[in-house]
Amino acid sequence: ETGVTQTPRHLVMGMTNKKSLKCEQHLGHNAMYWYKQSAKKPLELMFVYSLEERVENNSVPSRFSPECPNSSHLFLHLHTLQPEDSALYLCASSQDFTGGPQQTYFGPGTRLTVT
Amino acid sequence: AQTVTQSQPEMSVQEAETVTLSCTYDTSESDYYLFWYKQPPSRQMILVIRQEAYKQQNATENRFSVNFQKAAKSFSLKISDSQLGDAAMYFCAYRGGTSGTYKYIFGTGTRLKVLA
């Protein structure tokens, strides 16, 4: 797997823990995204960054805190999560965020389980 | 608001056979893009094929082709000569054509099993 990498691939955390998900893209893209993928539900867009600036925060609870220190790296900081936050968290990138026909490149995801 | 519906949670196909995955969508826009993404088990989602709404010709990518029916708002994916590596979740997605519209509207996915 190349292009967009995510670590860790699996994470189990208690409700009082603090952890971070990391995403890195090696494609020279300017836009990065966090998605939440839950079983039997459509992918939910959480955050969008363009050139390290947050473009969108899609009504995501404050227990999820994104950080984009540069155009290649994206973090999702987690604290005091709830069991319903258990899901696959996907990072993605695209050349820019103008949409159209351009392809989005996804990472393999972090499988998060909140106990 | 736009919606995307994949009515088949799961499909099976025999190796070397052909299978069609269904997708319908609802929109009031005239300009938009449609995509099929494939997500193999424990691997990243990749683009299979895309279609511009203004193009009448159906998109094809090797063994993958679409049947785009704009009036019916239908966008099905046909996989010919199915291979074991085609087993995956397939997601249909819509994106509006207005410049700056980066959001996808995804369907709930269809799990494709390929039987040897």
- What confidence score (pLDDT) does residue B102 get? 80
Q: Is the peptide bond before A8 cis (omega within 30 degrees of 0)?
A: yes
DSSP letter (8 states) at residue A95 = S
Q: Quick one: which of B44, B45, B77 has its CA closest to B63?
A: B77
Cβ of A1 and B44 within 8 Å? yes
Q: What is the pLDDT of residues A15-48, one digit of tens each?
A: 888 999 999 999 999 999 999 999 889 999 999 9
Q: In Å, how far are A2, A29, A31, B20, B54 from A25, measured between CA atoms? A: 8, 8, 10, 33, 32
Determine what percent of chain B is predicted with pLDDT higher than 70.
98
- What confidence score (pLDDT) does residue B99 get? 61
Q: Which residues of B touch A41 (CB under 8 A)?
A: 108
**B46 touching A (Cβ < 8 Å):** yes
Contact A85, A62 (CB under 8 A): no
Q: What is the pLDDT of residues A53-74, one digit of tens each?
A: 888 777 899 999 999 999 999 9
CA pair distance A34, A25, nearest whole angstrom: 13
- What confidence score (pLDDT) does residue B30 get? 87
- What confidence score (pLDDT) does residue A100 get? 81
Question: Which chain B residues in 75-104 lie under 8 Å from chain A, judged by CB atoms?
Answer: 91, 95-104
Bigger pLDDT: B46 vs A57: B46
Cβ of B108 and A42 within 8 Å? yes
- Where does B15-104 show beta strands of DSSP type E? 19-21, 24-26, 32-39, 46-52, 60-61, 64-69, 74-79, 88-96
- How do A110-114 and A10-13 pair as beta strands? parallel
CA pair distance A40, A5, nearest whole angstrom: 24
Q: What is the pLDDT of residues B74-103, one digit of tens each?
A: 999 999 999 999 999 999 999 987 766 788
**pLDDT averaged over chain B?**
94
- What confidence score (pLDDT) does residue A48 get? 92
- What confidence score (pLDDT) does residue B98 get? 74
- What confidence score (pLDDT) does residue A51 get? 84
Which of A27, A48, A104 is the mutation pick for testing B, counting most B CBs within 10 A?
A: A104
DSSP string, A4-73: EEEE-SEEEE-TT-EEEEEEEE-S--SEEEEEEE-TTS--EEEEEEETTEEEEE-S--TTEEEEEEETTE
CA pair distance B39, A42, nearest whole angstrom: 13
- What confidence score (pLDDT) does residue B116 get? 94
**pLDDT averaged over chain A?**
92
Bigger pLDDT: A14 vs B42: A14
A2 has pLDDT over 80: no
Res. B43 pLDDT band, cuts 50 70 90 = confident
Give A15 to chain B, closest Cα distance, Å. Answer: 25
